[in-house]
Amino acid sequence: MILIILPLIASLFTLFFKNKVAKIIALTASVAQLILNFILLCATNLKSTSLQALDFYPWYASLGLNFSTGVDGISMVMLLLTNVACVLILLSSWDNSYSSMTKFLALILFMQGALNGVFLSMNGLMFYIFWELALIPIYFIVGIWGGENRIKITFKFFIYTFLGSLLMLLALLFVYLHTPGNHSFEWSEMLKAQMTGWESTLVLWAFFIAFAIKMPIFPFHTWQADTYSVAPAQGTMLLSGIMLKMGIFGMIRWMWPLAKNACECNYNIFIILAVIGIIYAAIIAIRQNDIKRVIAWSSVSHVGLIAAGIMTWSKEGIQGGILQSFNHGINVIGLFMIVEIIERRLKTRQLDQMRGLAKHGRTFACLFMIITLGSVAVPFTNGFTGEFLLLNATFNYHSIIGIVSGLTIIFCAVYMLRVYQLSMFGPEKDNGGRIGKLTWSEYSTLGCIAIIILCIGIFPNWILQISESSVDGLLMLMKGGPAL
């Protein structure tokens, strides 16, 4: 409860202060939030396979809407990601001086509250409400502080995702009508919904499209690259680092259990779509000149792999997907931070405008290297374990799919190293752009990210343990085991 309410209150509170103070307040609030999250982590029994309910308050009882929250290992990882990422994002915005900075910070905090709500809610309607609530701040962040052409692009983004969520609302309503007895939107009740295979398949598709738009999976990705490149750096971080994980989480928590009677064959289609996305996006990424667009497309590719792995619905797949969601969130925030730093100094993001940046920014080059390697999934970085598990799962599912999605690592190396080489090495361009010294906030953001990348690379079990028993419980449930 407090995880959701605190950022919302903090966001209101921030509005009353001027730039500098507001920054301090926002950062303090997000750190406090992170500490609370760790307390919750310690208080949660991670050995238990079931969901641990936290709060239950009737909100609008005649609609079946309750404020009911619960946590398990899966949502715990997502919560950790959200709260870690928000600290990093707020830290990264320290040096920005946008007009009306307070509003900007308030919107980020607002977003954090909404995202926590998404990951915590155990009521279908509440899930939908927070899902939509998360869309509003990002709409304003992109629309107000975005680059050129932003009005058109935010509109497209908003309507696209809103349509997806309306489909999800329909699916939720449909399941609701099939719950036994007095209908209910509670997750545990919705699991008991009696639906035939066909009805389940409809629900499955509605959920899939909603989540696929959010993630985005090919062919629902058309909003993504434009929105990412137009959004301000922090907006992109929020979008790609956290918001996209709402889709992954939604698949695990809502789509799969609620549509369990649907034909398995649908998942074949989904996995094939995801794998097409992996290759397609990677190839596009190689040809881009704008660094932000490279990373945007790489994000589509990585997420495709996560989605494919998860939808094999094997233990390695889900575990790898959860771990990799966390890693991808951290890595992508790091990459966008690097783009932001380059853009602050050079006023451009075009690759052909930059060469030899490493010469006057050695620490920067070093940190950039670590993050790049993490994203390429070199052993001892965080990406390795996650992608290994995912590839293992897809390979077990079908060898050809495994091999094709394995190409992602090669492609990723190609486009990431291309970016690195073109920007960092070679003779310096004489148009005067240099990296020079990093400010302390840039240092600490990138430093934290590098440390997290290495730590998780060396001790991946730390995250895997959090979600392990919950994944076991979920798999048991889906095999017709005892209800949670």
Partner 1 sequence: MKTLILLFISGIFSLFGGIFGLKKILPFFASIALATAFGYLAYDSYYGIENLQNMLIFDNYSTLFIGITIVSTLLIVLMSARGYSYNSNSIGDLIGLMFFVLCGVVCMVSFNNMVMLFLGIEILSIPLYVMVGSHRNNLKSNEAALKYFIMGAFATGFLLFGMALIYGATQSFNLDVIRSFSATALQSSPALVNIGLLLITIAFAFKIAAVPFHYWSPDVYQGSPTLVTAFMATVVKTAALGAFLKFVIYLSPMLGSQWYIVLGLMSGATMIFANVVAIKQNDFKRMMAYSSISHVGYILMAFLTVNKDTQSVVGFYLIVYSLATIGVFACLLLLNPDHNKSSGFEIFNGLGKRSPFIAIILTVCLLSLAGIPPLPGFFAKFSIFKQAISEYLGLVIVAIASSAISIYYYFRAITAMYFTKYDETETSCLKEKNYAGYFVITVSLVGLLVLMIFPGLLGL
Q: Which is nearer to partner 1, 254 or 420 (CB)?
A: 254
Instruction: Report the sign of the C-alpha dihedral through residues 382, 380, 91, 355, in that order.
Output: negative
Closest approach, Cβ 26 to partner 1, in A, equals 18
Angle at which helices 461-478 and 440-458 pack, to 10 degrees? 60
Nearer to partner 1, 23 or 103 (CB): 103
Minimum separation from the CB atom of position 255 to partner 1 (A): 19
Closest approach of Cβ 250 to partner 1, in Å? 16
The whole-angstrom separation of Cα 223 and Cα 165 is: 15
> Which CB, 151 or 410, lies closer to partner 1?
151
Q: Smaller CB distance to partner 1: residue 57 or 264?
A: 57
Cβ-contact 371, 334 below 8 angstroms = yes
Find, among 351, 337, 370, 340, the residue nearest to 421 by Cα: 351
Contact partners, residue 474, CB within 8 Å, separation at least 6: 74, 252, 256, 257, 318
Q: Taking the complex as a whole, how short is the minimal distance between the CB of residue 63 and partner 1, in angstroms?
A: 6
The helix/strand/coil state of 182 is: coil
Cβ at position 125, least distance to partner 1 in Å? 8
Backbone torsions φ then ψ of 60, nearest 5 degrees: -135, 85
Give the nearer residue to partner 1 in terms of CB position, either 59 or 443: 59
Farthest-apart Cα atoms in the chain, separation: 74
Q: Which stretches of the chain bind partner 1, using CB under 8 A?
A: 58-65, 100, 125, 128-130, 132-133, 136, 140, 143-144, 150-151, 154-155, 158-159, 162-163, 166, 169-170, 173, 177
Helix axes 461-478, 73-92, angle to 10 degrees: 140
Helices (H), 55-149: 73-92, 101-120, 124-133, 135-145
Contact status, residue 200 vs residue 260, Cβ threshold 8 Å: yes
CA gap 430, 434 in Å, rounded: 10
Closest distance between partner 1 and the C-beta of residue 237, in Å?
21
Instruction: Between 170 and 422, name the residue whose CB sits nearer to partner 1.
Output: 170
Please tell me the distance from the alpha carbon of residue 186 to that of residue 127, in angstroms, as a whole number: 10
Q: What is the b/e burial string over 466-482, where b = at least 16 CB atoms within 10 angstroms of the residue's CB?
A: bbbbbbbbbeebeeeee
Nearer of residues 121 and 405 to partner 1, judged by Cβ:
121
CB of 158 to partner 1, least distance (A): 7
Distance CA 467, CA 328 (A): 17
**Cβ nearer to partner 1, comparing 42 with 63:** 63
The alpha carbon dihedral of 162, 266, 383, 32 has a sign of: positive
Give the nearest distance from C-beta 83 to partner 1 in angstroms.
22
Give 40 or 169: the residue with its C-beta nearer to partner 1.
169
CB of 196 to partner 1, least distance (A): 16
